[in-house]
Structure 1
Amino acid sequence: MSDILSTQDLTKRFGRVVAVDGVSLAVRRGARFGLLGPNGSGKTTLVRMLLGLVHATSGSIEVLGEPMPRRASSVLPRVGALVEGPAAWGHLSGRANLRLLDAAGPGRARHRRRRVDEALEQVGLGGVDRRPVHAYSLGMRQRLGIAAALLRGPELLLLDEPTNGLDPRGIQEMRALLTSLNEAGTTVVLSSHLLSEVEALCTAVGVMDRGRLALTSEIAALQTPTGRIVVRTPDAAGVVGLLDGRVVGRSGDLVTVTGTDPVALNARLVAAGVPVSGLVEERRTLEQVVLEVTGAGSDRVDGRPEAARQGPGPGAGGPR
């Protein structure tokens, strides 16, 4: 299957800061691809370059088989995007905002009302009234931003933190929407720092770390066995007594033991009269994989600056 977007040695510098550092990435058509990484890892800058919003310092980009940003005028009408939060005219209603956005596209006059209504229905805003967008909740604004991305029936969706501001039910609804769009043929690429979001929705992942692409893989290929088996039993003490040397963890009715053959372990427990209500081979989580391949990237700021520890100098003022 062909790639819907690719980059080669893509680099972006802001002065002496390297925000994206030699990224070579390929996303196949029809994928649900998650771009993961801590805040400041370069995810949003990379997405902005894919859309031609930021020009690369060096390297190349192809989207829908066309070079970007040179062919942006033919590529962008086929791409839906939400980057760094939804933008809108705050004094207008959500429906009026979408009509204006739709009018800006080529050949968009016919059936505009239907397109807008369909996009609002898709994101759960079908019953929205005439109140201005500045009176919307954060979750409603996020839904409106995604509706704007869907207006053109895009081949490719590029979404930066798409569930930001949504409550748990809204996150579940958005996950179902993106899955259904993907099953209908739309390629979905989202960037997020939320591991659970990517693990629940995506089939493949790329991990960014300090501007570099640390890893790309199908998620299923990353979730390899750990060499442990988790046993659920009403007689946890019985499992511990029988397999004492192999037990590595116990929590309530769950006992984790070393081993790679669940069938043989089940047979041994049953033969010894230990009841087993569940037994599963433990696999690595996406969180474990990401922590292994990323460095110390974080938005933590530990300690105190030397000047602060020494106190303000003569004549120094307070905070500004």
Structure 2
Amino acid sequence: MTVRTVLGDVPAQALGRTDYHEHLFQVSPLLPGDELDDELRSGQEAQSLREAGIDALVEATPIGLGRDPAGMARIAERTGLHVVATTGAHRQAHYPDGHPLLASTEEALAERFTAELVTGMSDVDGTGTGIRAGVLKAGIGYWSISAFERRVLGAVAVAHAATGAPVMVHLEHGSAAFEVLDELGSRGVRADRVVLAHADRNPDPGLHAELCSAGAYLGYDGMARHRDRPDSAVLDCLLATAERGGARRLLLGGDVARRSRYRAYGGLPGLAYLPARFLPRLVREGGAELAELVVVENPARFLDWADGN
């Protein structure tokens, strides 16, 4: 079992406690004033996550949104975190009209995604880095898949077939989960190679159990968003889904993703919230064995490059 990190391939069992979804660098027109674009501060925030007990993270920023592969590699070296970078594209709303990515064909997107997995990602200024991505990403809107988003899903499927790399899909408010699995499945991507990010934004354990039974991984990453729902809603859904047979398909992340929510940039609650605040509650209410599954065993299994290059 092998996971591709920004510092090279590592055995999946070496990852340790893994945060499946964070952003160290991100710039989006949807988030003005919330840019993550300072390597020193992002590195300090990553260090706080490491000191709180997390050993690995997936940096989920795809192409065109301020992703900084070289910066990720330096942060990984300084902190000792295993950092898995992402290629692919986000949902269309993150790209302004006229962005060159929006005009790309499925074939061009697939070629680029595959190259970033096998050869290396482009840096912020477009130059090659030789630092390889380890996860493919696509995104959709709320109960909608635009023509661009459908091309990205198709390109992700092609790149997955060529490499075996795992696939993350952003679901807006947790919508259209089965529809995404059907779209990818029709292109040869098995559900057990896919994590549905933000599944917990629709905290429906019955639906989640069905998705897990289909083989998909579910990303729970909505904690510390108390304006929308309390952490208890995320935790209760996780526990109920586990009780319905989904324990081996659940992943945890913070998806903090905003300058205003990083302590190192002057905000709250910071990346350490997940291991310091949420995980102890999971251990108390669900037991240490379930917590071990969710933060160690499941992400190692998901991030493994099955039959990959």
Fold match by TM threshold 0.5: no
Tell me the TM-score range normalised by the shorter chain: 0.3 to 0.5
Bigger radius of gyration, 1 or 2?
1
Q: Going by fraction, where is helix more abundant, 1 or 2? A: 2
Q: Going by fraction, where is strand more abundant, 1 or 2? A: 1
The alignment's TM-score, normalised by the length of structure 2, stands at: 0.33
The alignment's TM-score, normalised by the length of structure 1, stands at: 0.33
